[in-house]
Amino acid sequence: MKRRWPFFIFILLFLSGCQNPQLHLHNVFKSIDLEIRSHSKAYHLLVEICNRYGPRMAGTESAGRAEELAALLFRSYGFEHVFFQPFTFNQWQREDVRLRIDTAGSYVDFQALSLAYTPSSDIRATIVDAGNGLSNDYNGLDVNGKIVLIHLGLLPGTPSHLRNTHRAQKLSLAIAQGAVGCIAVNPIPGNLPATGSATLDGEMIRIPAVSISCEQGEKLRIRLTRGPCTAHLYTRNSCKQANARNVVARLEGYGLPQETIVVGAHLDSWDIAPGALDNASGAVSVLEMARIFKALNLKTRRSVEFVLFMAEEQGHYGSELYVKEARKRNLLDGIRYMFNHDMTVNTYGFNLMGHYESEDFFRQAGMLISRTDSAFANTIEHITYMGSDHAPFLMEGISTFTPLCRYQTFHTYHTSEDGPQHITPEMINSNIRSSAMMVYALANALSLPASRMSREQLRTYFIDNQLQEELVISGDWAWD
């Protein structure tokens, strides 16, 4: 009998080695689901980050403490390779703002917030309604020397072929048209102005730009149809050099360690926002995925880097630094996917951002995810934009994707109301569950459909996905 043990062990090892890959994935997915159900720390962590650290604008003391916490957590989960990527950047600081609008002879104060990188100013000028603030809105419109009123979303009745662009692009257009100031309307109802960066290059813009609420914007637009209207815009702001750090935890692959799946989210928020949805939701998703991989002792063929980027809000500084470091060390070819988590709750599928060659892989892995998680609809979409940490990776031809998320009608992005009270544990766990499963599937696949695009393929990609105009306006178009 004694002599038979090695034989049985051999048979067991043989069977586990030959396990059907689908069955293996399904079993791992079930263990991820069970781990989340019984031990998820994500919601608790989200509340702690928002309540204990509050707003975490990159370069501030609270942001520095949040960086420390993230590194401590990664280490406590069992990661041996945890490191900071420090950098210096031009931090914008909000000081004072006053917006007075002349409504038929008397000035009325509007609640306003400066958009980031708005300079100090004191101007009086006529307001001109420039609709959505897209290039077609300026046809036949003279805004030279005026203050433009623009909607940051798309107004009802906008032709369906028009795409919205980032507020920074809208500001560039207004400046190019000769506007001396800008009033930008928050497209989301809720009686709150919303902040956000008015530039993508991290320098003060040439004109002051302030945000007002959706409701006040609507009133002002109606007021402008009745006759001319002027505004007095007073802003005080400054810039200074500040320090911030990305936090990285690396899980070394056992088979193809030089290939990496980057799973990232920004940890910073705006100065006026607790940043629960934007972006404690994404940051705790990345932290919790990292915890699950260690708690379940999951081994991956490829390496996985869990990254918390800093200073996304002020201009993607952290993700740009990460890409720059990878370029210096010749590691860009090894990054097979960048999976970005920015405002990630209620996940029902994946946005493959125009990487159509990845569809079959995601659909098949997604079918297995929906067998474990019946709420996961396995929807695949292709929505493209440049306004988050995936952008520096995309600029290098790397395949990027994000979770597809369902938001509530009232959501609090970039406002003082962006607290944990609008998020439930299940909203956040739904993202972690399907995302962790997809990361495991990608990191362990025998082969992956994505490869890094050449410069020429990237040019075609940007044109096909209607990103060319956006890149030209921001000065990032590197071709003809």
Residue-wise over 163-191: b if at least 16 C-beta within 10 A, else e?
ebbbbbbbbbbbbebebbbbbbbbbbebe
The H or E element spanning position 322 is helix 317-328
Report CA torsion sign: 210, 214, 219, 222: positive
Q: Which is nearer to Zn ion, 70 or 174 (CB)?
A: 70
Residue 279 in contact with Zn ion, rule: CB under 5 A: yes
Angle of helix 21-39 relative to helix 359-372, nearest 10 degrees, comes to 50
Q: Which is nearer to Zn ion, 67 or 278 (CB)?
A: 278
Q: Are strands 230-251 and 121-129 parallel, antiparallel or unpaired?
A: antiparallel
Count of residues touching Zn ion (by CB under 5 A): 3
Least distance from Zn ion to the Cβ atom of residue 79, Å: 24
Q: Which is nearer to Zn ion, 302 or 341 (CB)?
A: 341
Least distance from Zn ion to the Cβ atom of residue 279, Å: 4
Alpha helices by DSSP H, listed for 18-124, are: 21-39, 42-48, 61-77
Q: Which is nearer to Zn ion, 259 or 278 (CB)?
A: 278
Name the 3-class secondary structure at 172. helix
Residue 278 in contact with Zn ion, rule: CB under 5 A: yes
Least distance from Zn ion to the Cβ atom of residue 19, Å: 39
CA distance 302 to 251: 9
Contact region with Zn ion (CB under 5 A), list: 215-223, 315-323, 342-350, 461-469: 342-350
Least distance from Zn ion to the Cβ atom of residue 116, Å: 13
Indicate the Cα dihedral angle 416, 417, 419, 420, nearest 10°.
Answer: 180
Which DSSP string do the residues of 442-474 spell out, in sequence order? HHH-SS-S--PPPHHHHHHHHHHTT-HHHHHHH
Least distance from Zn ion to the Cβ atom of residue 66, Å: 14
Cα–Cα distances in angstroms (integers) from residue 413 to residues 18, 96, 437, in the given order: 48, 21, 27
Q: Which is nearer to Zn ion, 278 or 418 (CB)?
A: 278
Residue 340 in contact with Zn ion, rule: CB under 5 A: no
Residue 67 in contact with Zn ion, rule: CB under 5 A: no
Q: Which is nearer to Zn ion, 361 or 413 (CB)?
A: 413
DSSP state of 163: P
Q: Answer whether 350's CB lies under 8 Å from 403's CB.
A: yes
Alpha helices by DSSP H, listed for 141-244, are: 167-176, 214-226
Q: Which is nearer to Zn ion, 119 or 282 (CB)?
A: 282
Contact region with Zn ion (CB under 5 A), list: 251-259, 285-293, 322-330, 340-348: 340-348
CA distance 366 to 141: 49
Least distance from Zn ion to the Cβ atom of residue 371, Å: 31
What are the phi and psi torsion angles at 123 (to 5°)?
A: -130, 150
DSSP state of 333: G
Question: Which 91-110 residues touch Zn ion, going by CB under 5 A?
Answer: none
Contact region with Zn ion (CB under 5 A), list: 64-72, 187-195, 242-250, 277-285: 277-285
Residue 271 in contact with Zn ion, rule: CB under 5 A: no
CA distance 283 to 48: 12
Contact region with Zn ion (CB under 5 A), list: 30-38, 213-221, 336-344, 420-428: 336-344
Q: Which is nearer to Zn ion, 129 or 389 (CB)?
A: 389
Least distance from Zn ion to the Cβ atom of residue 115, Å: 15
Selected binder of Zn ion within 271, 320, 342, 417 (CB under 5 A): 342
Q: Which is nearer to Zn ion, 410 or 479 (CB)?
A: 410
Least distance from Zn ion to the Cβ atom of residue 277, Å: 8
Question: Which 439-478 residues touch Zn ion, going by CB under 5 A?
Answer: none
Least distance from Zn ion to the Cβ atom of residue 188, Å: 14
Contact region with Zn ion (CB under 5 A), list: 46-54, 101-109, 197-205, 274-282: 274-282
Strands in 64-142 per DSSP E: 81-103, 106-110, 113-114, 121-129
Q: Which is nearer to Zn ion, 78 or 190 (CB)?
A: 190
Spatial CB neighbours of 101, under 8 Å, sequence gap ≥ 6: 107, 108, 110, 127, 220, 229, 230, 231, 232
Contact region with Zn ion (CB under 5 A), list: 5-13, 220-228, 337-345, 444-452: 337-345
Q: Which is nearer to Zn ion, 216 or 279 (CB)?
A: 279
Contact positions vs Zn ion (CB under 5 A): 278-279, 342
